[in-house]
Amino acid sequence: MKPSRTWAIAKKEFFHIYRDPRSLALVILMPALLMLLFGYAVTLDVKKVSMAVLDRDRSQESLNFIQRFSASPYFNLRFSVQDGKEIERLIDQGEVKMGLILPWDFSKTIKAEKVVPIQVLIDGADANTANIILGYAQAIARQYTQEKTILKVSRMGVTNLNLPIDVRPRVWFNEDLESKNYFIPGLVAVIMSIAGVLLTGQVIVREWERGTMELLISTPVRKGELMMGKLIPYFFLGLLDLSLAVLMGKWVFEVPLRGSIALLFALSCIYIFVALALGLTISTFARTQLLANQMAMLAGFLPTFLLSGFTFVIPNMPHWLQIITYGIAPRYYVTILKDIFLKGVGFSFLWRETLVLIGMAAAGLWVATRGFKKELR
């Protein structure tokens, strides 16, 4: 491989990028836009759940209980209604996510120290959110029950009541359990995948479509020189996108970056090569730019979004799907990003992922180069 030829190709690609401000703008705007969209839109935090209450008892006791919900940051008491039909209607219309119904004998039963059933209706269309809401409601009820029990026991003369287990949770890595801290590092992987694949997804097929490939393959240029030359400029654009995404994560979304930023960039560089090589492969095999673009969107976006552990937890997937995730590069990159961002781990914890990514980058380049034929088609 002659460096002068590789350099000639790289320089030419730089000119293409430089002369086409629209594509350059896309390269810079797309990551910023994705970051903002996903950063603000994708959240699993369930807060201020709108709810309606039907209090059939209307006693001090029932008001006190309802107060627990309205005072909680997780609930937003929007409606007090007079009958059960009303709650059904509000849930049907999507006005509220939850309905709470207290029976007419709520305070009476509690005073009689019996078990009182209360009804919680939850819009379960979104199972995940419903589960979380259910958890909140149960926690409030449990707390209330516990307080009542302690009160009752102390009235019986027991003063130093000790509950056997006192859970004192301490959450690591994402102390405030904010879903953005979990999402943003994964989002960097999504952006790098899409950007990387889109950047190189055009470069070969475009030359075929414009007819410039016919002349290029009539020269003694080698396939490897062509591929490397085409990679270099886009690698730098990828670095630009990476910096943009990391900076936005840190300064706009205030995600803690606990690990070494140098390590983050070094390992990300390897991933950029993986994504660019995938783009090159697509570009080598696709017959039209349009097709290449669509394939690049799919190949860049879907695996990273669905199978990398970015949105969906891999251990919860069916076994066969888990096996597939081992074959896709973003899985390893998302691990690297989350570990460096949130856990602040060093290279000694990430060398396996790094090796896999290096292997994948090399394999991708090999396939793209082998797949390219210096012959008219």
Partner 1 sequence: MPTFVVEVEDLVKKFDSFVAVDHIHFQVEKGEIFGFLGPNGAGKSTTIRMLCGLLLPTSGKGKVAGFDLMKEPEKIKQAIGYMSQKFSLYDDLTVIENLHFFGGIYNLSGSSQRKRENEVLEMIGLQDLQDRITRTLAVGSKQRLALGCAILHEPSILFLDEPTSGVDPISRRNFWSLIQHMGEKGVTTFVTTHYMDEAEYCGRLALIYQGRIIALETSSELKVKTLSRGVLEVECDPLIPALDLLKKEPWISESAVFGDGLHVISKEGVDLEREINGLFQKHGILLKRMGWIRPSLEDVFVSLIEREEKQ
Site for partner 1, rule CB under 8 A: 2, 4-5, 7-9, 11-12, 15-16, 19-20, 210-221, 374-376
Could you tell me if 308 and 331 are in contact, meaning their C-beta atoms sit under 8 angstroms apart?
yes
Strand order in the sheet with 98-102: 75-81, 49-55, 98-102, 119-122
3-state SS class at 99: strand
CA–CA distance, 235 with 239 (Å, rounded to integer)? 6
Nearer to partner 1, 9 or 133 (CB): 9
CB of 273 to partner 1, least distance (A): 23
CB of 194 to partner 1, least distance (A): 25
CB of 295 to partner 1, least distance (A): 25
Nearer to partner 1, 143 or 212 (CB): 212
- What does R_g of the chain's alpha carbons equal in angstroms? 29
Residue by residue, DSSP assigns 203-269 as HHHHHHHHTHHHHHTTS---HHHHHHHHHHHHHHHHHHHHHHHHHIIIIIS-----S-HHHHHHHHH
Nearer to partner 1, 113 or 375 (CB): 375
Could you tell me if 246 and 257 are in contact, meaning their C-beta atoms sit under 8 angstroms apart?
yes
Nearer to partner 1, 219 or 288 (CB): 219
CB of 10 to partner 1, least distance (A): 10
Classify residue 276 by its DSSP letter. Answer: H
CB of 344 to partner 1, least distance (A): 45
Nearer to partner 1, 15 or 40 (CB): 15
Tokens encoding 260: 């070494």
CB of 231 to partner 1, least distance (A): 16
Nearer to partner 1, 166 or 375 (CB): 375
Nearer to partner 1, 89 or 287 (CB): 287
Which residues lie below 8 Å from residue 239, measured CB to CB, with a gap of 6+?
Answer: 265, 269, 272
3-state SS class at 76: strand
Nearer to partner 1, 114 or 377 (CB): 377
CB of 4 to partner 1, least distance (A): 6
CB of 235 to partner 1, least distance (A): 19
CB of 360 to partner 1, least distance (A): 29
Burial of 291 (0-12, 13-18, 19+ CB in 10 A): middle
Nearer to partner 1, 18 or 104 (CB): 18
Could you tell me if 112 and 65 are in contact, meaning their C-beta atoms sit under 8 angstroms apart?
no
Angle made by CA atoms 241, 255, 180, in degrees to the nearest 5: 95
**Count of beta carbons in the 10 Å neighbourhood of residue 38:** 21
